Amino acid sequence: MKAVVRYQYGTPENIRVVNMPKPLPNPTEVLIRIKATTINRTDCGVLTGAPYIFRFFVGWPKPRTPILGTDFAGIVEAVGEKVTKFKVGDKVWGFDDNGLPSQAEYLVYQEDKNILPIPDALSFKEAAACAEGAHYAVNFLKYVKLNPESKVLVNGATGGIGSALVQLLKSQGVHVTATANSKNMDLIRSLGLEKVIDYEKEDFTKLSEAFDVIFDAVGKSTFGKCKSMLNKNGCYLSSELGDGIENLYLPLITKLKGGKRVLFPLPTDIKGSMMVIQKMVIEGKFRPIIEKSFSIDQAREAYQYVVSGQKTANVVFEIS
């Protein structure tokens, strides 16, 4: 089978597409013929081994597996003798933020891990794009209490996390203001947002409006800059640690002080997030945005594009 590999942590230049033996499922595993995966920011961490602490999860000192990947959508081609939840021909999707050898034509995966049937409404590409960003977005929302009166700002609404987050927020009926750049204005308005700020023309931290929650889904701001825009007991959440890893310790300091708070969600329960998204897809409340697709033979180019930070929402590999 064809697989996208790297043998050491490093840049996209280390990536090669090679032929490898097709894996065989053990008694509790399914063999999946992969149809699509995304190339996302977690994949970039799996490729580069950065931040360094991530290597303790994906392999230290070398990657645990040479094959890249974190998510998948495909068809079950064989099942181990003890598998009860899936059968040959089932369409399935899944995700693991500690890396999965899924950027290959075949993957073996434990039936009780993060794997679910693909809803009828979704293509393979769309199913793969429901995983990574949506999981982090669902986790962001576990940390805050919202009601239809809540006013929320999302910085970076066109990213993998941001584009999922605004859809989750809209489904809860809250008032959402979002930032995006000029080229994506139409895309972001299509998600039903009332107010969009072009971050190339206006600095959202200078807005005179107040918000109950500010989600920085691209980690480009700081609590210091956003604090004056938060209501009395408002919360600031970021997807990044911050330049001085302040988002790690500010949650404790701001909790002790009371009032405006910083929260830094550590994502957990991937299967739970997948079930939330699955339900929303079936109810017609969630649809992943896909910017572009690459073939598996364009793996290096695809990673170069995603690592460069230029991607919008989701970028997909069409594997077979």
Ligand X SMILES: NC(=O)c1ccc[n+]([C@@H]2O[C@H](COP(=O)([O-])OP(=O)(O)OC[C@H]3O[C@@H](n4cnc5c(N)ncnc54)[C@H](OP(=O)(O)O)[C@@H]3O)[C@@H](O)[C@H]2O)c1
Which one of 86, 106, 199, 305 is in contact with ligand X (CB under 6 A)?
Answer: 199
Are 132 and 29 contacting, i.e. CB atoms less than 8 angstroms apart? no
Contact region for ligand X (CB under 6 A) — 4-12, 15-23, 54-62, 160-168?
160-168
Alpha helices, DSSP H, located in the chain: 41-48, 55-58, 124-128, 132-142, 160-171, 185-189, 223-226, 246-257, 270-282, 299-307
Which one of 131, 144, 217, 263 is in contact with ligand X (CB under 6 A)?
Answer: 217
- Strands 261-263 and 230-238, by their bridges, are parallel
Given the complex with ligand X, which of 37 and 83 has the nearer CB atom? 37
Residue 159 interacts with ligand X (CB under 6 A): yes or no: yes
Given the complex with ligand X, which of 139 and 150 has the nearer CB atom? 139
Which one of 267, 287, 298, 307 is in contact with ligand X (CB under 6 A)?
Answer: 267
Q: How far is CA 80 from the centre of its chain?
A: 30
Are 136 and 168 contacting, i.e. CB atoms less than 8 angstroms apart? no
Residues 6+ apart with CB under 8 A from 44: 303, 306, 307
Given the complex with ligand X, which of 106 and 199 has the nearer CB atom? 199
Given the complex with ligand X, which of 171 and 181 has the nearer CB atom? 181
Are 263 and 145 contacting, i.e. CB atoms less than 8 angstroms apart? no
Contact region for ligand X (CB under 6 A) — 16-24, 106-114, 153-161, 229-237?
153-161
Residue 215 interacts with ligand X (CB under 6 A): yes or no: no
SS3 52: helix
Which one of 218, 230, 281, 290 is in contact with ligand X (CB under 6 A)?
Answer: 218
Residue 143 interacts with ligand X (CB under 6 A): yes or no: no
CA 227-156-312 angle, to 5 degrees, is 170
Which one of 67, 312, 316, 317 is in contact with ligand X (CB under 6 A)?
Answer: 312
Find, among 38, 206, 34, 31, the residue nearest to 104 by Cα.
34
At its nearest, how many Å lie between ligand X and the CB of residue 238?
8
SS3 253: helix
Distance between CA 100 and CA 103 in Å, rounded?
A: 8
> Which residue number places its CB atom closest to ligand X?
159
At its nearest, how many Å lie between ligand X and the CB of residue 7?
24
Which one of 180, 237, 274, 290 is in contact with ligand X (CB under 6 A)?
Answer: 180
Using CB under 6 A, list all residues that contact ligand X: 40-42, 133, 136, 155-156, 158-162, 179-181, 184, 199, 217-220, 239-240, 267, 309, 311-312
